[in-house]
Structures are given as C-alpha cells and as structure tokens.
Amino acid sequence: MGRVVGIDLGTTNSSVAILEGGTPTVIVNAEGHRTTPSVVAVSSSGERLVGIQARNQAILNPGNTVYSVKHLMGQRYDDPKIVKLREKLPYSLVRADNDAAWVEMASKPISPPEIAAMILARLKTDAEAYLNDEVTGAVITVPAYFDDGQRNATKDAGEIAGLQVERIINEPTAAALAYGHGDHAASSASDQPQIVAVYDLGGGTFDISIVDIHADMIEVLATNGDTFLGGDDFDDRIISKLVDGFRAEHSVNLREIPSAVQRIKDAVVQAKHDLSTLKSATVNLPFIAADISGPLNLLATISRDEFEELTGDLVESTLAACTRALDDAQLAPEDITRVLLVGGQTRMPAVQRRVGEFFGQEPLRGINPDEAVALGAALQAATLDGEELQKVLVDVTPMTLSSEDYQGRAISIIPRNTAIPTSATSYWSTVADFQRSVDVNILQGEGELAKDNKLLGGFTLDGIRLAKKGEPTIEVTFDIDADGIVHASARDVDTGAENKVTVNTNNDLSMQQIDESRERVERFELQEREQREID
C-alpha cells in the first residue's frame, strides 16, 4: 500500500503535501520549489513539458503551451464563459464529440483532465522522489464553488494520473483545516469555538467560505464564489490598458500577435507583483512588434493608485459574494472571529484593505497563502488514511441542485449550503395519459429558470405502467456524496421497479477515453523518470 498525499491543483500553481510526524509539510519539487506552475506544453521537438520548464518556453511556443486548464475542466465548448475565454487564450480550443471543450496541442485534441493529469503526475513523481516510496492515492482540492461537472473532471484527472482519488475537498475548507490544526487556532483563547471567514483569491478562482471551528469539528456554514474570477482578471485590466494605448499610438493590435500577448502577460504579472510592495511599476518590452518604420517598443509606467482604480470593481464583486455567504449563514461581519487570506492575489494591498474594512478587522497573515490549501489536503489525506482523527470535517454543497419542470422552471431539490453527504427524494408523475417515460434534467445554480442554470445531465425513466396522467408515482432520489458529486436513482412506487440511473454529465470522459489517457500519461511519467535518472 503506497502513500496518500494532499494536492492543491491550482489554476496557476499546484503543490503537494504530506503529513510527517504529525505536521503537514509541503514537498519541494525537483527544481527546489514549493509550488509547481500549472502549465503543460509540447515543445517543437515533440517533448511534453510540465511546470517551470513549460512556463519558461511559453513566450517562444504560445500555441502549444497550456495554462489555466482548470478553467476548462468539465465545461462545454459553447458555454458563454468558455466562449469569452477562447478569445483570450493563446492556444486553441476544440469541440470534442460530446461537446466538451478540449485543447489542441501539437495539432491533437486533448482533454482538460488529461492535461491536469500531467500536472498531477509530475507532483506524484516529485512526492515519490522525496518520500522514496510509492504514492498511490491523493486528496485533491477544488474551489468550493466548483459544480458537479468540474468535480467529476477533477476526479477523472486523478484517475488518469494513476492516483486513487480518496476525496475531493474544497480549497477554503482545506485552508481552514490547516489553520485549525496550526498554532493560530490553539493559541487564541484555547479551543473557544471560532467562526472563520476564508477568503481565497487565486489566479483564476474566488471562494469565500464561512467556517465554524470547534474543538473536535470543522463545519462549513456557507460558501460562495466565482470560478471565473481571479488574478488573471487583474492582469487583464492592465493588459487591456496597454494594448489599447499601443493601438491608439501605433495602429497595431498586439492581441493578434500570440508571442507579444505572452510577453505582455509575463511583464504585467511582474509589474502587478511589484505593485504589492511598490508605489509604481514599469513595463518595458522592446521590439514587441514592428511596422514600416521599424521595431516598436512598449514602455509604460503604472502607479498603484491607477491599478487599484482599474481593478476596484473586481475586489468589490468578491465582497458582494462575501455578503451572500454571510446572509446564507445568517451571520453579520461582526460575528466573524478571524479572517483568513488564501491565494496569491490576496497579496495585493487593496484586497487586504477592503477585506479588512468589510469584516471590520485586520485579516490574518500568519499562514502562508500559497501553502495552506495543500497542507489542509495533507491533513485530510492522513485522516482518511487512518491517522488519529483530529477534527471531523463537515462541508456543504455550493449550489442549489434542481430539476426542470415541464414549463422550464428550476425546481429546487437540494438547496445550496446543505451539509454533505446528503440525499433528497422527490416524487414525479406523468403529464399525459399513457405516458411511458419521463425525462429528468438535473441542474445546478440559483436561476429561477432551468435555462439559467448549468445542465449537469439527465436521464430517462422508462417502463412506466400504462395509466392516466398524474396517476403513476415515481420516486427519484438524489445524493450528493462527500466529494460534492451528484448521483441519482429512481423507483416506480406502484410497481416497485427500480431504475438505477447515472447522471450523465454531458461532457464526462468515457472509461475508454480515461484508459487511453492513462496510457499516454504513464508513458510520459516513465520517460520523465528515466530522464531524471540520466540527469
């Protein structure tokens, strides 16, 4: 039996941790870093690259360098958010047979879970090298606000990487676990219950969770967020400003030059980081383009005030989510004992300031925002591995699970913020005489109309007995498991006929696809191990 690790599979950066002598510890990767860029590439010589090597060649190879793949997990190609994203990404997306959004790399379509699996496989190899032992399982974290499809895709990624996914846990909850385990909680008025707000703003996602930490239990009261809001959006505001300015001055659209886009992105991220400690920063990109007069340079200075002005609405929208989470928990900002900041974008002073103002207290900075999630995942992994249980974890489902009625309305089945695992039963009937089957659509979201929610999938109940409309009674049971994944089963109450149904998420991978991906990733892992032995 191999080891079980905790993995923070981030949009921008990933990391892996393990419990050592009762203390969760981040594992340093082959390059000596504590986080690994979530970037995968195929080089011009056809070599697959992951992490820092992939990121370092991005400028020269933008079309075959994939970052932010987390945004694509479990998404349809036509989803409005993906349509918008497609315009910004320097690599191409393609529509898979099942309408899922896939990536084109080295002219081949490849599923987002397979790309994520390459990152997981890398973390697994690093952990194995460090532990000198086989790693067979993992607890993988996801944004609390991930829906069923996104969670399923993450599970697939684990499987493709050859990892038994012991549990999917929410990132802010993992951070709360790390916090609850650490000295911070213990030192504050010894085991007084605390209500902690975990504010997690990473590169691509935002989550807010309100967590009740007791002596023996960590209970999530409410969660809210946006899986398409993060540091990348802060970068985009600067990028747009620079690109627009450049176009006005030189009549050249830098967005149409993929290598320029990547260079601007790198320089802007650096400037953004500088603005967390400095009052102004400069972007200086010589020879970014050329026109008939010769090479053109991009040189711009941006002040912190200007940057805060450009991104103020992004910060405010995170606070609106905080209000919704508090409302759902029936709490006011004053009820929060501690505010925990997680995710690299919380290093921005304006974020710290506004979050502090919102909750009326200085947010806690003692815990490393880049590592808290992986550390919490390692704690959960150890617990599931049989380590002495420290605190029981009770999490919630982030979005309302509903089904669609015949008028297109969303009928709530399991309301958001219900503790999981959970199950709910609803009763269905026919709307026409002698109707033999009923279609059940399953949705997630808060929209009143079915079409305003995400369609997770559906199933058809066949073999209903011949009867007048409204007479048959069909009992449908929905479950949400501890990973936040939805299952359903149905029963004809009159005949007792059971109908085991799987919620067919429209863009799930088939078993065969998972096996094929697994083979490819295994081959890549092997190559990588051989390469390390040579080095």
Active-site residue set: 8, 70, 171, 200
Residue 347 contact among Mg ion, ligand ADP, none, beta carbon within 5 to 8 Å by kind = ligand ADP
Write down how long the chain is: 535
Nearer to ligand ADP, 276 or 397 (CB): 276
Residue 230 contact among ligand ADP, Mg ion, none, beta carbon within 5 to 8 Å by kind = ligand ADP
Q: Which residues contact 199 (CB under 8 A, 6 or more apart)?
A: 172, 208, 318, 322, 339, 340, 341, 342, 346, 355, 363
Q: Are 168 and 154 in contact (CB under 8 A)?
A: yes
- Which of 345, 397, 453, 513 binds ligand ADP (CB under 6 A)? It is 345
Nearest CA among 264, 253, 266 for reference residue 300: 264
Q: How far apart are CA 299 and CA 280, in angstroms?
A: 14
Q: How far apart are CA 509 and CA 72, in angstroms?
A: 14
* 360: three-class secondary structure by DSSP: coil
Q: Are 24 and 178 in contact (CB under 8 A)?
A: yes
Q: How far apart are CA 234 and CA 231, in angstroms?
A: 5
User: Segment contacting ligand ADP (CB under 6 A): 86-94, 150-158, 230-238, 482-490?
Assistant: 230-238
Does 10 engage in binding with Mg ion (CB under 5 A)?
yes
Does 172 engage in binding with Mg ion (CB under 5 A)?
no
Does 204 engage in binding with ligand ADP (CB under 6 A)?
yes
Does 204 engage in binding with Mg ion (CB under 5 A)?
no
Q: In the bound complex, what is the minimum distance in angstroms from residue 70's beta carbon to ligand ADP?
A: 7
- Which of 6, 112, 180, 202 binds Mg ion (CB under 5 A)? It is 202
Nearest CA among 428, 416, 442 for reference residue 503: 442
For residues 400 to 419, the per-residue mask of contacts with ligand ADP, x marking binding by CB under 6 A and - elsewhere, is --------------------
Does 276 engage in binding with ligand ADP (CB under 6 A)?
yes
- Which of 226, 370, 395, 528 binds ligand ADP (CB under 6 A)? It is 370
Does 348 engage in binding with ligand ADP (CB under 6 A)?
yes
The gap from C-alpha 123 to its chain's centroid, in whole angstroms, comes to: 17
Nearer to ligand ADP, 238 or 488 (CB): 238
Q: In the bound complex, what is the minimum distance in angstroms from residue 258's beta carbon to ligand ADP?
A: 20
Nearest CA among 390, 405, 414 for reference residue 480: 414
* 534: three-class secondary structure by DSSP: helix
Which single residue brings its beta carbon nearest to ligand ADP?
A: 231
Q: Are 219 and 236 in contact (CB under 8 A)?
A: no
Q: How far apart are CA 326 and CA 336, in angstroms?
A: 9
Does 231 engage in binding with ligand ADP (CB under 6 A)?
yes
Q: How far apart are CA 418 and CA 398, in angstroms?
A: 8
Residue 13 contact among Mg ion, ligand ADP, none, beta carbon within 5 to 8 Å by kind = ligand ADP
Q: Distances in Å between the alpha carbon of 232 and those of 26, 38, 89, 142, 277?
A: 25, 14, 11, 18, 19
Q: In the bound complex, what is the minimum distance in angstroms from residue 171's beta carbon to ligand ADP?
A: 7
User: Segment contacting ligand ADP (CB under 6 A): 7-15, 176-184, 333-341, 359-367?
Assistant: 7-15
Residue 348 contact among Mg ion, ligand ADP, none, beta carbon within 5 to 8 Å by kind = ligand ADP
Question: Which residue ranges make up the site for ligand ADP (CB under 6 A)?
Answer: 10-13, 202-204, 230-232, 269, 272-273, 276, 343-345, 347-348, 370
Contacting residues toward Mg ion, per CB under 5 A:
10, 202
